[in-house]
Amino acid sequence: MPAHALSAADLLAETRAAIAHAAGLAGRAPETIELLAISKTRTADEIAPLIAAGHRSFGENRVQEAQSKWPALREATPDLRLHLVGQLQSNKADAAVALFDAIHSVDRPSLVEALAKAMERSGRRPACFLQVNIGEEPQKGGCAITDLPALIDFAQAAGLPLTGLMCVPPADTEAAPYFALTAKLARRHGLAGLSMGMSADYETAVMIGATHVRIGTALFGARTL
Ligand SMILES: *Cc1c(COP(=O)(O)O)cnc(C)c1O
């Protein structure tokens, strides 16, 4: 690490301060916002300093990668909380339910069914966010805005522990309108959780009501993979 580089603890403190500032502007208590350190592509050695600095909530985007890294880290620090923020194939529902405390990428009825069965089999009930394809981008995961009411009904009927909505706004455009729309949809359906905001826009997301911000680059540096 070059001498001028900020440590993981410094970056964590800076990010927490920025979240607290944005929360204060919006009249929100900073404790109502959970910072998820998105550790995809990072090694256990890169993750360890954040754990040592007291951080406990992490996010991964691939089940297999998480399975290879987290059991050992968890053994050393049992109170870690792990969130899945990437797309999930139905055939990995059992593995996801076994490993994660929350799943942010529930976006279709077949996955709702697979998760409900996996929860029944295992007795574990990770919190579920429905991902909305808020920019209606064909290449992105998430359910279409028009399909959301039916998916919410379906997930509730299946008994999923439904926590809120998650979105990833289109890249290279102003994120705020997409955050505002996601917040409006969550309010309309009585869902309290809002998983939105990444390194480039988390302060905006906090001002618009995010309850979970997903931050990788600002904590770990740029990804090379
Ligand atoms: C990688 C990722 C993030 C974190 O992105 P950064 O720009 O590195 O903060 C957040 N959410 C999802 C779904 C991701 O895949």
Let me know: does 185 contact 151? Beta carbons within 8 Å. no
Ligand 1 atom 6 nearest Cα: 216
Distance 189 CA to ligand 1 centre (A): 25
Distances (CA, A) of 179 to 15, 95, 103, 143, 197: 19, 30, 19, 16, 8
Distance 172 CA to ligand 1 centre (A): 14
As a whole number of angstroms, the distance between CA 163 and CA 195 comes to: 10
> Global pTM?
0.96
**Ligand 1 touching residue 61 (CB < 6 A):** yes
Q: Which CATH class is domain 3-216?
A: alpha beta
Q: What is the full per-residue pLDDT of the chain (225 aa) written as tens digits?
A: 555 678 889 999 999 999 999 999 999 999 999 999 999 999 999 999 999 999 999 999 999 999 999 999 999 999 999 999 999 999 999 999 999 999 999 999 999 999 999 999 999 999 999 999 999 999 999 999 999 999 999 999 999 999 999 999 999 999 999 999 999 999 999 999 999 999 999 999 999 999 999 999 999 988 775
Q: 3-state DSSP: the chain helix, strand, coil percent, rounded to 5? A: 45, 15, 35
**Residue-level pLDDT at 7:** 87
Distance 220 CA to ligand 1 centre (A): 11
Ligand 1 atom 7 nearest Cα: 199
**Residue-level pLDDT at 116:** 98
**Residue-level pLDDT at 223:** 76
Task: Give 214's contacts (C-beta < 8 A, 6+ positions apart).
Answer: 36, 38, 59, 83, 85, 104, 195, 197, 198, 202
The residue whose two tokens read 């410094």 is 10
Q: Where are the domains of the chain?
A: 3-216
Atom of ligand 1 nearest to the CA of 85: 13
**Residue-level pLDDT at 198:** 98
Let me know: does 49 contact 28? Beta carbons within 8 Å. no
As a whole number of angstroms, the distance between CA 82 and CA 79 comes to: 10
Beta bridge partners of 35: 213
**Residue-level pLDDT at 225:** 59
Atom of ligand 1 nearest to the CA of 223: 8
Distance 126 CA to ligand 1 centre (A): 20
Ligand 1 atom 13 nearest Cα: 85
